[in-house]
């Protein structure tokens, strides 16, 4: 009789153990999928932060170039005004500009 009881226990325990194993593997697979999704989200978040930092640096650089260009344009404008004043002064004095430069 104990032998039959052992067989009955094995017959009922084997499917329960198999079903339990399948459920355990399913939960582990879901947990792994969830971990991968979290890692992917963190990776994407990191990439977005990196892009935001690079964009901020690009804006700063662009602003610096804009200021530098504006300063250069202002200097060119001042030089042009200075040359125009010199030309007007020379024409008022009736002196040939070429001779004025050569005579220097």
Q: For residue range 13-66, list pLDDT tens digits in order.
A: 888 889 999 999 999 999 999 999 999 888 899 999 999 999 999 999 999 999
pTM over 0.75, yes/no: no
Whether the CA torsion 41, 47, 49, 52 is positive or negative: it is negative
Q: 91 Cβ partners below 8 Å, 6+ apart?
A: 97
Separation CA 69–CA 63 (nearest Å) = 10
Domain count, the chain: 1
Question: DSSP assignment, residue 94?
Answer: T
Q: Which domain does 34 fall in, by range?
A: 2-102
């Amino acid at each position: 009789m104990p032998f039959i009881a052992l067989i009955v226990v094995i017959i009922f325990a084997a499917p329960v153990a198999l079903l339990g194993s399948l459920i355990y593997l399913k939960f582990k697979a879901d947990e792994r999928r969830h971990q991968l999704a979290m890692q992917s989200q963190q990776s994407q978040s990191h990439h977005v932060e990196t892009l935001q930092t690079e964009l901020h640096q690009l804006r700063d650089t662009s602003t610096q170039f804009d200021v530098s260009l504006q300063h250069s344009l202002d200097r060119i404008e001042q030089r042009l005004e200075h040359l125009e004043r010199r030309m007007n002064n020379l024409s008022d004095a009736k002196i040939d500009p070429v001779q004025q430069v050569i005579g220097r």
